[in-house]
Structure 1
Amino acid sequence: MSFNIALSGLAAAQKDLDTTANNIANVNTTGFKESRAEFADVYATSIFSSGRTKVGDGVATSLIAQQFNQGSLQFTNNSLDLAITGEGFFALTPDRQSQDLTYTRAGAFKLDKDNFIVDNKGNFLQGFSVDPVTGENQSVSLSTTQPISIPTSAGAPRETSNVFLSMNLDSRAVETGSIAFDPTDRSTYNHSTSVTVYDSLGESHTVTTYFRKVDTTAPAPSQWETRLVWDDNVATPPGPNSWFSGDDLYFDSSGNFDTTLGVPQIVLPLADLNLAANGYLNNGAQFGNDVVVNFRDASGVRLPTQYAANFDVTNLSQDGTTVGNLTGVDIDAFGRVLASYSNGDSTYLAQVTLVRFANVQGLKQVGNTSWKQSITSGEPIGGQGNTGTFGAVNASALEQSNVNLTTELVDLISAQRNFQANSRALEVNSTLQQTVLQIR
């Protein structure tokens, strides 16, 4: 019996050595979680034996328990390197259509040849669908996750429908309203500003707005005429002029915009823009809506002013875009993936899926610093980062191994001493049996 007890001690010490050696070997493995060998004594007796004299039957390995405490963060220059601070795992699948999820804390991700985010083994990072404008997720059910892809272009161009323009017009400007407007003659207008707009094919056009101070006292102390020229006057609008005329701007004696007549506009009718004879479009594009220059910002809060100050454009924007190329990818603490494009567009693509378990030590290791669900781990629960008990997602960072090398070296010495002690017990037992066999 003592042979078996000593052998069980040797096996336990060997298991402890193996566990410690595995921890040390993975001290630089991203997302690795250290393990701890846990042991229990072996004791067996019957109802007719005396428990007072029973010694025990040795030791057995009870569990190799992984320790999921937080590893330190290593910051990188790759925005696709992700780390979780707090609870949670990334979800991966081996192919695009699979629902066979594995879970990992190793966030060294990159793009494959089809622009999908994958790990070093080619497993696809899963995400939730989101609203492309607000980034709000549509579901946190794991059955709705899908691989995250990063498109390299912003898709189809978007034609301009509205231009938003607000400015300060210099109240000291000389009145030019009595002179015939000529966009090529600087003396026939006071101020001008330009903006680029886009047609249905994404080609850019320059729209220049001109302002002329008018000699009038009604209905307000100051009045300004507005004119608009398309593509530096190369087109020919209908009528005798080569420019569009818009609503007049009125200001009170304090320089504030007079809203009693509504917010003025310059409307470029789509019928005129699309007519080939007018020469606005020569590339086959067609506008689906009028192009409207609104003298306000998009929210309607910032309006034109007329102060004794230099001409200053306070807001100038438009809602069209050309085709854009990918310029950057950002991922916030909630796991929302935001793509930026060269045309100024920013689009939310997905939200990185985070998963947690009731008992993380019940997860089954499958290699490559990954785990799978088991009976003892409980069901996976999906969610978004930085909410509830889910940890925050850190972009351009990797979670290092949580192995403490100093502690592991001490444990290595302890396991070695245990092995030597059990070897000595086996040797003593052998010597005693040899002595008995030599009795004559």
Structure 2
Amino acid sequence: MSFNIALSGLKAAQKDLDVTANNIANVNTYGFKESRAEFADVFSTSLFSNAKTQNGEGVLTQVVAQQFHQGSLLFTSNALDMAINGNGFFVTTDSPLSRDFTYTRSGAFKLDADNRLVTAGGDFLQGLPVNEDGSVKSVSLSTTAPIQIPDSAGSPSATGAVDMSFNLDSNAKALDPYKFNPLDTTTYTASTSTVIYDSLGNSRIASFYYVKVADPTTTNAAATVPGSGFDALPADPNDATNANSWVMFSTVTDDAGVQKKVDLGNDLLSGGAPDARTFSTGDPVGDPTSHTGMLLQFDSSGSPVASTFPVPKTEPLGTPLNVTITPPPTAPYDGASVVTNGANPDQQFNINMSNLTQFSSAFEITALSQDGQTVGRLTGISIGGDGLIEAKYSNGDAQAISKVALARFPNEQGLTQIGNTSWTPSRESGEALAGEPDSGTFGSIRSGTLEQANVNLTGELVDLIAAQRNFQANSRALEVNNQISQNILQIR
């Protein structure tokens, strides 16, 4: 019997050595979780035996328990490297259409030939579907799909709206609007520009110029000459007082990059009467037709003056541009609609300038944006702490692609190891519960970070020495038992 007891001790010591050696071997394996050999004594008794005198029958390996505490984080320069700071597992499958999920803590992901996120072993990282704003559509493992990053931002879209907000300096020097020339910076007070796109994704520069002028004193409704509404300007614009008027001009580059005029108003209404809220001057860019600006006026508080705009007719102003103004009747300076000619002569974009001010401060743009875009190529990926993956493109667009799916289990130590730092559920672990990163009991995602093995190398080396001593002691017990047996056999 003592031989069996010593032999069980040797087997237990060998198992302890094996587990410790495996931990040491995987000290540099990302996402690896150390194991611990747990033993129990063997004790047999019966109805007629005396338990007080029983000595036990050795030792057995009860379980090799995995330890799922957090490993240290290693920072990298790869945005696709991810670590879970807290509870949860990444969800992976071995094929895009598979529903056979495996779970891992190793976040060393990369892109395959189809721009899908995969592990080093080729398993596909699963993500939750999201809306355009990044909110999750459904939190369920059944709705997850392999995360794929589009390499382009889809089809180009024409600019449909430009939003501008700015302050015009009330102390600016009044200029002569008849001398406006976009090529001469001395003929206008301030300017700004933005990029717009047509339906084919071609970019153009839309520029806007602001000329401080003296307040018009009359509106000559019968006048048909350029400059309607400005016929009574003082001889010297600098002599004007209470000048709360500006004229806004605009140009847009054509396909060749040449500035072409854009009329922000029309000289004549359909009935032939001039529009007092527009101003015309000779086009200095090269087109012999007039260059029409739009009158912007402010009250003593610096707010734009409300007025009702007539609806002017649309007049062609030469290739490739023409314009019409269709603002709401009660909100001034909203909705200047620019029509670009060329491949799509019906393309329009609305200019929203409702948030204008004229204060005693420098010209300042407080908002300038447009909604068009050209075809964009993938330039980068960002992954937030909530697992939301956004793709950034060369056209400035950013799209929410997916959100990394996480899973947790009622009993992590019941998971079954399958290699490649992956696990599958078992009866002991319970079913997987899906969730979003950084919500509830789920940990957050750290992009550009890898979780290292949670192995304490110093502790493992000490355990290795202890297991070795244990093995030696059991070997010695076996040797003593053998010597006793030899002595018994030699009795005569």
Common fold, TM-score beyond 0.5? Answer: yes
Aligned residue for 2:53, secondary structure, equals coil
1:287/1:387 CA distance change after superposition, 3 Å: farther
In the aligned structure 1, how far is the partner of 2:83 from the partner of 2:23? 20
Instruction: In structure 2, give the amino acid aligned to 1:392.
Output: S
Q: Quick one: distance in 2 between partners of 1:286 and 1:142?
A: 49
Q: Deviations over 1:296-344 (max 9, x none)?
A: 4xxxxxx222234443333221111111111211111111111111111
The match for 2:10 is 10
Unaligned runs of 5+ in 2: 219-241, 268-287, 308-329
1:170 Cα offset (Å): 2.8
Equivalent positions of 1:58-207 (< 5 A) are 58-132=58-132, 134-176=133-175, 179=178, 183=182, 189-207=188-206
Give how far 1:368 is off.
Answer: 0.7
**Amino acid corresponding to residue 253 of structure 1 in structure 2:** S
CA shift for structure 1 position 224? 2.2
C-alpha distance after superposition, 1:246-286 (max 9, x if no partner)? 4x32212243334575131353355xx3xxxxxx32xx346
Matched, 1:264 2:264: no
Structure 1 residues 171 and 58, CA gap change in structure 2 (3 angstroms): same
Cα distance change of structure 1 residues 193 and 241 upon mapping to structure 2, 3 Å threshold: farther
Which one of 398, 420, 430 corresponds to residue 450 of structure 2? 398
Structure whose CA Rg is larger: 2
CA distance in 1, matches of 2:184, 2:53: 116
- Whole-Å Cα distance in 2 between the matches of residues 218 and 336 of structure 1? 59
Which residue of 2 is the match for residue 39 of structure 1?
39
The match for 2:482 is: 430
Distance in 2 (CA, whole Å) between partners of 1:257 and 1:401 is 65
- In 2, distance between residues paired with 1:138 and 1:242? 54
One-letter code aligned to 2:144 = T
Say which SS state the counterpart of residue 398 (structure 1) adopts.
strand
- Mapped contact 1:179–1:188 kept (Cα < 8 A): no
CA offset at residue 150 of structure 1? 1.3
Gaps of 5+ in 1: 274-279, 297-302
Q: Which amino acid aligns with 1:86?
A: G
Q: Which residue of 1 aligns with 2:302?
A: 255
User: Which residue, out of 334, 347, 353, partners 2:405?
Assistant: 353
Residue type of the alignment partner of 1:151: P
Q: What amino acid does structure 2 have at the position aligned with 1:43?
A: F
Alpha-carbon distance in structure 2 between the residues aligned to 1:184 and 1:86? 60
- Alignment correspondent of 1:276: none
Equivalent of residue 225 in structure 1, options 209, 223, 247: 247
Q: Distance in 1 between matches of 2:208 and 2:51?
A: 101
Matched residue type, 1:44: S
Inter-CA distance 7–207: structure 2 relative to 1 (3 Å threshold): same
Partner of 2:238: none
**CA RMSD after TM alignment:** 2.4
1:329 counterpart residue number: 381
For normalisation by structure 2, the TM-score amounts to: 0.80
Question: What count of residue pairs does the alignment treat as equivalent?
Answer: 421
Letter aligned with residue 205 of structure 1: R
Question: 1:293 maps to what in 2?
Answer: 351
Identity %: 52
Return the alpha-carbon distance in structure 1 between the equivalents of residues 94 and 177 of structure 2: 75
| TM-score, length-scaled by structure 1 | 0.89
Amino acid paired to 2:399: T
What's the secondary structure of 1:163's corresponding residue? Answer: strand
Cα distance change of structure 1 residues 361 and 127 upon mapping to structure 2, 3 Å threshold: same
TM superposition shift of 1:209:
2.1
Q: Which amino acid aligns with 1:84?
A: I
